[in-house]
Amino acid sequence: MGKNKLQKFQENTTFLNLFQPSPESLREADFCLKGLWRSQYFNNANPIVLELGCGKGEYTVGLSKLFPRKNFVGIDIKGARLWRGAKTATEEHLPNVGFVRTRIEQIPALFAPNEVDEIWITFPDPQPRPAKAQKRLTSSRFLNLYAQLLKPNGLIHLKTDCQPLWEYTREVALQNGLKLNVCTSNLYATVPPDEPILGIRTFYERQFLAQGLPITYLNFCLSHKGPFAEPAV
């Protein structure tokens, strides 16, 4: 492990906006802020939005600036990546940002039913092999997790350069009778250029755009609590 990583891990322990519960503690009991994020962390009644697999937190931080009347929580397992988002939010005194270092599978221990309003999934690992479809963050397995904490008709956003993942997610939504609000295979060709959200570009997105790759996007409502099924083959 590089010295720089060790320094980041040490600094992570000083950030008031970064929580690092151990996997063992989340298996034994719910996180201390479950059901209390608004009242005991954000100190407001605003909607809560998650970014799953947030990496360096570019979207978490960027969205928090665009929507100051919403609360944002970025979740990732990589501490060295989270360091960047937590440090930026700390230096810029962003009151509506938090981060949690944990695996996404453990989010039901972090948030109470109906506590979350929206979920963003930005450039996740597409898990291209069919045998690993259930590891995709938009698979029926994960939708069943999200349904435990999303409010009725809560939104799920997917932004990816991977056309097969976009197609798979679209089919998951259609198979389960979920309403697709936006579904485009070329985001920057179909959305007005003055749309503020287009100004947020992750490190990987900038690389993809430089290569001329189209960016896909969709969002849909989780209109029921499942159980959700995989697309018919």
Residue 76 among the catalytic residues: no
- Tokens 């039901």: give the residue: 108
Burial class of residue 152 in the structure, from the number of CB atoms within 10 Å of its CB (0-12 exposed, 13-18 middle, 19+ buried): exposed
Q: Quick one: tokens of 189?
A: 């060709």
Neighbours of 10 (CB within 10 A): 10
From 30, 76, 117, 125, the catalytic residue: 125
Distances (CA, A) of 53 to 41, 154, 194: 21, 19, 27
Amino acid letter for position 36: L
Angle at CA of residue 87, ends 82 and 90, nearest 5° = 125
Q: Strand ranges (DSSP E) for 161-201? A: 180-184
Specify whether the CB–CB gap between 28 and 106 falls below 8 A: no
Q: Which residues are catalytic?
A: 125
